[in-house]
Copies of this chain bind each other. A is one copy, B any other.
Amino acid sequence: MSKGDISVFAPERDVLKAASRRIQSSIRRTPVQTSSWFNARYGTELFFKCENFQVTGSFKARGAAHAVLSLSDSAARKGVATHSSGNHAAALARAAGLRNIPAYIVMPENAPKVKIEAVKTYGGIIRFCEPTLEARETGLQQLVEETSATFIPPFNHTDIILGQASAALELLEDVPDLDVIIAPVGGGGLLSGTALAAKRINPGITVYGAEPEQANDAFLSLRAGHIIPAQPDTIADGLRTSLGDITFGVIRRFCDEILTVPEDAIITSMRDVWERMKIIIEPSCSVPVAAIGLYPDLFAGKKTGVILTGGNVDLDKLPWM
């Protein structure tokens, strides 16, 4: 992982497109869906990039595939490792399978069952740990020392960001004249990739990050000008992480604003998407949808792209139950 002060990661359009091409045959080109109900409700024209239909059930398949496919043969042979509460873990396990190399995954014991099962399905080798960031990092360090596997972090990594950028690139190929694009922000890998892709394709586009009020580290960090770690207490389990130095730098430069939303709006928007669009999204994924409802002036009359990030939900524990 990069440490300390580095210059901002700012790849040009060609680099972004090359990364997208590299993973093209390893991921799914997800559809862009529309909803007349949401358009009428929010007075905007929304284009939902459905990464909940992505292989592994989330956009994380993109970054993981790109990171694994970018490894040298000698590094790849020793495998890859990570810690993750879920979607990145499954994505990395699957990506490792693309090269027939082992994936070692440190997961908190309280990770959603459906996400643990997904890692197992893809042949990932799981080591459970206490549900703290510290325990995850210690567990990972031990694993890497034992196996010499390459650590592929969930977001603070240029190859991950380049992979995640491909979602917005595809969306802009399908709907070139977007005025606005919005994505959720946890660790910032997706938002970094989205902002880079959007601004490199169309410098005039506006890019928003959407974040739970109760995990508003990106909002606070951008205000402060330095990273303020999250004190997360949100149902959006994919957004409980804090920005890294690379993602902070990219977002500070390429993202226009961070919009925060309360928990009840996250749950209501999630249910609205299920009910109206008949697609399953996880709580993290409804955060930008909630933001559109809460900041209507920013979106009225605009063509807005929304990255729907994932659909991995424990169907026995729905937040409105």
8 Å CB contact of A33 from B53, B271, B321: B53
8 Å CB contact of A280 from B53, B280, B316, B321: B280
8 Å CB contact of A278 from B53, B271, B321: B53
8 Å CB contact of A315 from B31, B36, B275, B277: B275
A57 within 8 A of B: yes
Min distance, Cβ A209 to any Cβ of chain B, angstroms: 23
A311 within 8 A of B: yes
Instruction: Tell whether A52 pairs with B280 under 8 Å between CB atoms, given A31-B31, A320-B316.
Output: no
Q: Which A94-115 residues sit within 8 Å CB-CB of chain B? A: 114
A125 within 8 A of B: no
Asked if residues B275 and A114 are in contact (CB atoms below 8 Å), the reply is: yes
Q: Which A241-261 residues sit within 8 Å CB-CB of chain B? A: none
For the complex formed by this chain, how many copies does it contain in all? Answer: 2
Min distance, Cβ A274 to any Cβ of chain B, angstroms: 6
Q: A316 to B114: give the CA distance in the assembly, Å.
A: 21
**Which residues of chain B have C-beta atoms less than 8 A from A57's C-beta?**
278
Query: Is the interface on chain A under 10, 10 to 19, 20 to 34, or 35 or more residues?
Result: 20 to 34
Q: Is the interface of A mostly helix, strand, loop or mixed?
A: mixed
Asked if residues B311 and A315 are in contact (CB atoms below 8 Å), the reply is: no
A279 within 8 A of B: yes
Min distance, Cβ A305 to any Cβ of chain B, angstroms: 18
Min distance, Cβ A98 to any Cβ of chain B, angstroms: 14
Asked if residues A271 and B311 are in contact (CB atoms below 8 Å), the reply is: no
Q: A33 to B33: give the CA distance in the assembly, Å.
A: 13
**Which residues of chain B have C-beta atoms less than 8 A from A311's C-beta?**
278
Asked if residues B280 and A315 are in contact (CB atoms below 8 Å), the reply is: no
**Which residues of chain B have C-beta atoms less than 8 A from A53's C-beta?**
33, 277-278
**Which residues of chain B have C-beta atoms less than 8 A from A275's C-beta?**
114, 315
**Which residues of chain B have C-beta atoms less than 8 A from A279's C-beta?**
278-280
Question: Which partner residue on chain B sits nearest A35 by CB separation?
Answer: B53
Asked if residues B278 and A274 are in contact (CB atoms below 8 Å), the reply is: no
Known: A31-B31, A278-B311, A321-B321. 12 other contacts (CB 8 A): A33-B53, A52-B278, A57-B278, A114-B275, A271-B315, A275-B315, A278-B280, A278-B281, A279-B280, A316-B320, A316-B321, A318-B318
